Amino acid sequence: DSGVTQTPKHLITATGQRVTLRCSPRSGDLSVYWYQQSLDQGLQFLIQYYNGEERAKGNILERFSAQQFPDLHSELNLSSLELGDSALYFCASSVEGSKNEKLFFGSGTQLSVL
Amino acid sequence: GNSVTQMEGPVTLSEEAFLTINCTYTATGYPSLFWYVQYPGEGLQLLLKATKADDKGSNKGFEATYRKETTSFHLEKGSVQVSDSAVYFCALSGRNTPLVFGKGTRLSVIA
C-alpha cells in the first residue's frame, strides 16, 4: 500500500460528459502529480501541484483542469469527454516535489468513455 | 525536451535467466534516473534510482548504472523469478521537470 488513495477505481461514462477524479496523497506529502496511462501514449505527465499551487504543466488538454485543496487532496476534472480520453489516470505524491524524490503512486482510476 | 526511450516488449524469459532492459535518455543538464515497476492491477512503485553519473542503483537483485557518456540506464538482473513478471518503466526527472517515463517493457517469466 503506497498510502495514496484514488477514487473511484472505475468510472464509466458517455461522450460529452464531465467527471471528477479524486486523490488523497500520503500523509505529509505536499506535492501531487497526475498522469494518464494509455496503450498508445504510455504514461503522460499531466500536471503537478505543490502545497496548493500549480508547479508544472505537461500535456494536459484545455478540457481538463485540476486543483489541490488546503487539505492537500487533489481533484482532476475532465469535461466534454471523448472516446480517446479512455485511459488509466494515476495520481502520485511526494514530500517536496524535487527531482531526486521517489514518487508514490495510487492504484489509479480506470476511465471508460462510451 | 526530456525524453526516455526503452526497449519495447514483451520480453519472455525462463526462470533464472539473465535480464537486460535497455534505456537511453535525452535531457538537458543533469537529470536523475529511475526504474519503476508496475505489477498487475497496481500503481507504479520505485525499483531503484541514480542521481548522478556513474552511480549504481540496486534493489531486489536489480541493478542499473547511470552512464552519462552513453546517456543510458540499462536495467539488469542476474537471475529472474516468476514473481518479477511485471511492466518496467525507465524514467528521468530534471531540475524543473517532473518524471518523464518511457513506454514500458512488459516482462513475463515462465517457470
What confidence tens digit (pLDDT) does each residue in B7-22 have? 888 999 999 999 999 9
What is the tens place of the pLDDT at every residue in A44-64? 999 999 999 999 999 899 999
Helix and strand numbers (H, E) in chain A are: 0, 11
Q: Which three cell numbers stand for residue B6?
A: 526503452
Query: What pLDDT was estimated at residue B92?
Result: 94
Beta carbons within 10 angstroms of residue A67's beta carbon: 14
CA distances from A23 to A15, A31, A92, A97, B80 (A): 23, 12, 8, 16, 34
- A92 interaction partners in chain B (CB closer than 8 Å): 43-44
Instruction: Answer for the pair A76, A23: CB distance below 8 angstroms, yes or no.
Output: yes
pLDDT of residue B28: 85
Question: B44–A33: do the CB atoms touch at under 8 Å?
Answer: no
Nearest CA to CA, how far is A80 from chain B (Å)? 27
DSSP letter, residue A7? E
Chain B contact present for A57, CB below 8 A: no
Q: Report pLDDT for A11.
A: 97
Per the prediction, chain A carries an average pLDDT of: 94
**Does residue A39 register a pLDDT over 90?**
no
Q: Which residues pair with A49 in a beta bridge?
A: A32, A54
The residue type of B100 is V
A102: distance to nearest CA of chain B, Å?
7
Task: Please check the confidence at residue A33 and state whether its pLDDT lies above 80.
Answer: yes
Q: Is A86 on the interface with B (CB under 8 A)?
A: no
Query: How far apart are the C-alpha atoms of A82 and A76, rounded to whole Å?
Result: 16
